[in-house]
Chain A
Amino acid sequence: GQQLNQSPQSMFIQEGEDVSMNCTSSSIFNTWLWYKQDPGEGPVLLIALYKAGELTSNGRLTAQFGITRKDSFLNISASIPSDVGIYFCAGSNSGGSNYKLTFGKGTLLTVNP
């Protein structure tokens, strides 16, 4: 099946630092979503992107839908300890229905206080 290449696989940063992670695909997506998952829990939606070039913020989080529709990035500014977790990108190209998400393998973020 389709694969999303998500990088980096893991990050160790100091509290207060900014973080950037990205996803690339060989296929075009018409929706990009970013989720955060804590151990033993389901993914929690952070940001949804629906248009190429779209830049959306949610508090300290900012994500962009690449203009080629094949990539997206997520930035976290001024990281705090509760940002720890696994961040997943997910794309959909199921026509206008967006019913089937393809996920990356995740970026494990560790924040040292």
Chain B
Amino acid sequence: DTGVSQDPRHKITKRGQNVTFRCDPISEHNRLYWYRQTLGQGPEFLTYFQNEAQLEKSRLLSDRFSAERPKGSFSTLEIQRTEQGDSAMYLCASSLFGQLSSGNTIYFGEGSWLTVV
């Protein structure tokens, strides 16, 4: 399967613990995105990378959240000192920027469900 891969798919953690999610984008894609989705809502943009550079962070991304893409390939999203309000699905997506507009289409992974108890 050459789609966007996320791990783990499900995570249950106690409030105050740290969690980390990993995303492997489509191999040739240079852009990688993180979105968050809560029940009954559409996904909301958190941050994105072009290659290894993090180019924008949403105000939704508090100081407890940090994302990295050290080699311009896979990415990690870490949440420190988790709170119950962090419970959501964290979606990773990727795209190939630089070609015609049709190449900028964003493809999503299957998501990582986080439940903070």
Contacts and interface: CB of A to CB of B under 8 A. Distances in A.
B24 to A, nearest CB: 13
Interface size class of A (residues with CB under 8 A): 20 to 34
Interface in A13-57: 31, 33, 35, 40-45, 48, 50
A68 interface: no
Contacts, number: 68
18 contacts: A4-B42, A31-B104, A33-B106, A41-B111, A42-B89, A42-B109, A42-B111, A43-B108, A50-B102, A99-B31, A99-B33, A99-B56, A99-B97, A99-B104, A101-B35, A101-B43, A103-B42, A106-B42
Interface of A: 4, 31, 33, 35, 40-45, 48, 50, 88, 90, 96-106
